[in-house]
Amino acid sequence: MTGILHALEWINKYIFSPLLPILIFGAGIYFAFSLRFFCITHPVKFLRVFFPKKEKELKRDKDSISPFKAVTLALAGTLGVGNIIGVSAAIMTGGFGSIFWMWCSAIAAMMVKYAEIVLAVKSRIKLPDDKGVEKFHGGAMYYIKNGIFAAIFASLCIASSFFLGNIIQVKAAADAINSTFGVPPLIVGCVIALLCAIIIGGGVHNISDFTVKIIPVLSALYIAASLYIIIINGSRIPEAIHRIFADAFTPEASIGGIGGFLLCRSMRYGITRGLFSNEAGCGTAPIAHAEADTKHPAAQGCWGIFEVFTDTILLCSMTAFVVIFAFDSVGQSCITDTSGMLLAVKAYSLYLGDSAGMFISLSTAIFALATLVCWSHYGLEGVWYISRIIKKKRNTPINFGMLRNMYIILYCVAAAIGGILSGDIIWAFSDFAVGIMTCMNIAAVMKNRKEITLETKSYFEPCHKYKTVLNHRQNLSAQCQNHQNSNHQIHQNLRSNHHNKVKNSLQPDQNF
- In the three-class reduction of DSSP (H, G, I as helix; E, B as strand; rest coil), residue 292 is classed as strand
pLDDT value, residue 293: 85
Partners of 327 in the beta sheet? 333
Does a structural domain hold residue 492? Answer: no
Co-location of 443 and 457 in the same domain:
no
Cβ atoms of 112 and 443 within 8 Å: the answer is no
Three-point CA angle 145, 77, 409, nearest 5°: 85
Co-location of 458 and 370 in the same domain:
no
Co-location of 421 and 464 in the same domain:
no
pLDDT value, residue 440: 94
The beta strands (E) that lie in 109-243 are given as 125-128, 134-137
Co-location of 138 and 237 in the same domain:
yes
Co-location of 331 and 243 in the same domain:
yes
Co-location of 232 and 353 in the same domain:
yes
Co-location of 121 and 238 in the same domain:
yes
- Residue ranges making up the domain that contains 290: 12-51+66-447
Co-location of 168 and 150 in the same domain:
yes
Q: Into how many domains does the chain fold?
A: 2
The CATH number assigned to the domain holding 254 equals: 1.20.1740
Co-location of 186 and 315 in the same domain:
yes
Does a structural domain hold residue 94? Answer: yes
Three-point CA angle 350, 351, 352, nearest 5°: 105
Does a structural domain hold residue 491? Answer: no
Co-location of 460 and 439 in the same domain:
no
b/e sequence 111-130, b meaning 16+ C-beta within 10 Å: bbbbbbbbbbbbbbeeeebe
pLDDT value, residue 424: 76
pLDDT value, residue 23: 87
Co-location of 319 and 396 in the same domain:
yes
Mean pLDDT by 10 residues, the chain (512 residues): 82 81 87 90 87 58 72 73 67 75 81 94 83 81 88 94 88 83 91 91 78 83 89 90 79 54 39 47 89 89 89 83 75 54 74 81 84 90 89 77 90 91 80 90 94 91 58 56 54 55 48 40
Partners of 127 in the beta sheet? 135
Partners of 65 in the beta sheet? 292
- Name the burial class of residue 323, with classes exposed (0-12), middle (13-18) and buried (19+) by CB atoms within 10 angstroms of its CB: buried
Its sign, for the CA torsion 98, 101, 107, 110, is negative
Does a structural domain hold residue 489? Answer: no
Does a structural domain hold residue 178? Answer: yes
Co-location of 18 and 44 in the same domain:
yes
